[in-house]
């Protein structure tokens, strides 16, 4: 086990010990002094502050951006883009320095974005936001019903109070095919986590930010990114797709894939506020130790926050179109 991996394990163990000690202090007369309860919390915070040092160093002297194909087709809008700030999700942890979120918005001017972007940043530097909430199995659970978000469905607006949450079929991204951005080998593929309800209202967002994101952070990278695929693109570069739809995998670990090949479908698993695509390049397949790598999408560049872009079906390797002021990163 590497030092970086051991640091992340100790970080999670420290928070678990803290929570256990708090519960003991509340329910019984603890056999330890009150101040001792905060020691593991202090250790966890210290570890969190040091965990991103390698990412910060890499961002200070970034390597050249790796050009790959877009992971989607159709019309999408960028959020949490590295074209606007680095680290794009506020943290370097889990290889997210140059990660990007995109939401399907096929009807120009329709829908309305959420007040917060689809990925929220939990306590120790994870990044990707949502909660388990009520089960979303059935129509929004395992894949098989096709791309519910097709036919120009508008993206729902963020609501202050009601509805608190929406089922995933209301979002045009849900079920959209995700494509290999380059030739490569599947290193990891998982799709067993359920797709939960959206978190696109103020009460749901508060629950996410104050409770669920922190719990997922302690549970580990898998709870943050949900169902995900990692591709080895060669030359020490790995591509990661997060929040995949339950049961939608088209590949498995060890498979060789070609650019443009379907991998899975867009979902709402893990730490996510709504169905969207979280994409990133990184230098290691293990999210606990990975450092982000800059990317650029062929024919598009790196769309800035709020910029829409369109990729036609079956034209991977050709230029896409972009609306707004997106810049190549």
Q: What is the CATH number of the domain that holds 295?
A: 2.70.70.10
Helix (H, G, I), strand (E, B) or coil at 108: coil
Per-residue pLDDT tens listing for the chain (329 residues): 777 778 888 888 988 898 898 988 888 888 888 889 899 889 888 887 777 777 777 777 888 899 999 999 988 999 989 999 989 888 888 888 999 999 988 765 544 444 345 665 443 334 443 333 333 333 455 554 445 544 467 776 767 778 766 787 778 888 999 999 999 999 999 988 988 877 777 776 676 677 766 777 777 777 888 999 999 999 999 999 999 999 999 999 999 999 999 999 999 998 887 899 999 999 999 988 898 999 999 999 999 988 999 888 765 654 455 555 443 33
Q: CA distances (Å), 109 to each of 105, 112, 172, 197, in order?
A: 8, 8, 14, 24
Report pTM.
0.79
Question: Are 90 and 173 contained in the same domain?
Answer: yes
Question: Are 304 and 168 contained in the same domain?
Answer: yes
Question: Are 186 and 41 contained in the same domain?
Answer: no
Domain count, the chain: 2
Identify the domain containing residue 214 by its residue range: 62-323
Residue 68 lies in a domain: yes
Helix (H, G, I), strand (E, B) or coil at 178: strand
Residue 329 lies in a domain: no
Question: Are 166 and 283 contained in the same domain?
Answer: yes
Residue 218 structure tokens: 């302690």
Residue 226 lies in a domain: yes
Cβ–Cβ < 8 Å for 82, 120: no
- pLDDT given for residue 15 in this prediction: 85
Question: Are 29 and 140 contained in the same domain?
Answer: no
* Rounded-to-integer distance, Cα 255 and Cα 239, Å: 14
Residue 266 lies in a domain: yes
- pLDDT given for residue 152 in this prediction: 61
Question: Are 183 and 257 contained in the same domain?
Answer: yes
Residue 57 lies in a domain: no
Cβ–Cβ < 8 Å for 323, 311: no
* Rounded-to-integer distance, Cα 35 and Cα 32, Å: 8
- pLDDT given for residue 252 in this prediction: 94
Contacts with 83 (C-beta within 8 Å, 6 or more apart), sequence order: 301, 302, 303, 304, 305, 326, 327, 329
Residue 190 lies in a domain: yes
Contacts with 253 (C-beta within 8 Å, 6 or more apart), sequence order: 186, 187, 188, 189
Question: Are 83 and 220 contained in the same domain?
Answer: yes
Question: Are 207 and 303 contained in the same domain?
Answer: yes
């Amino acid at each position: 086990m590497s030092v970086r991996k051991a640091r992340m394990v100790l970080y999670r163990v420290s928070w678990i010990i803290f929570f256990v000690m708090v519960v003991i202090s509340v329910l019984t007369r603890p056999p330890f002094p009150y101040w001792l309860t905060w020691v593991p919390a202090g250790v966890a915070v210290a570890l969190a502050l040091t965990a991103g040092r390698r990412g910060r160093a890499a961002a200070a002297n970034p390597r050249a951006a790796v050009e790959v194909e877009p992971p989607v087709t159709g019309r999408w809008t960028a959020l949490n883009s590295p074209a606007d700030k680095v680290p794009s999700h506020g943290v370097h942890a889990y290889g997210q320095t140059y990660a990007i979120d995109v939401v399907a918005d096929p009807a120009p001017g329709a829908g309305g974005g959420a007040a917060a972007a689809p990925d929220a940043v939990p306590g120790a530097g994870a990044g990707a936001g949502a909660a388990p909430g009520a089960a979303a199995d059935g129509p929004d659970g395992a894949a098989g019903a096709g791309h519910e978000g097709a036919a120009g469905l508008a993206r729902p607006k963020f609501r202050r109070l009601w509805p608190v949450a929406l089922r995933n079929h209301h979002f045009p991204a849900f079920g959209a095919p995700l494509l290999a951005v380059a030739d490569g080998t599947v290193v990891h593929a998982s799709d067993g986590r359920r797709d939960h309800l959206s978190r696109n209202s103020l009460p749901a967002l508060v629950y996410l930010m104050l409770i669920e994101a922190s719990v997922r952070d302690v549970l580990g990278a898998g709870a943050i990114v949900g169902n995900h695929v990692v591709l080895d693109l060669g030359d020490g570069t790995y591509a990661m797709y997060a929040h995949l739809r339950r049961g939608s995998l088209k590949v498995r670990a060890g498979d060789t894939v070609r650019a443009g090949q379907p991998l899975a479908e867009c979902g709402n698993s893990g730490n996510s506020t709504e169905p969207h695509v979280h994409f990133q390049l990184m230098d290691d397949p293990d999210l606990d130790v990975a450092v982000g790598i800059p990317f650029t999408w062929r024919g598009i560049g790196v769309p800035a926050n709020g910029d829409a872009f369109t990729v036609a079906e079956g034209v991977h390797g050709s230029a896409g179109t972009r609306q707004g002021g997106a810049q190549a990163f």
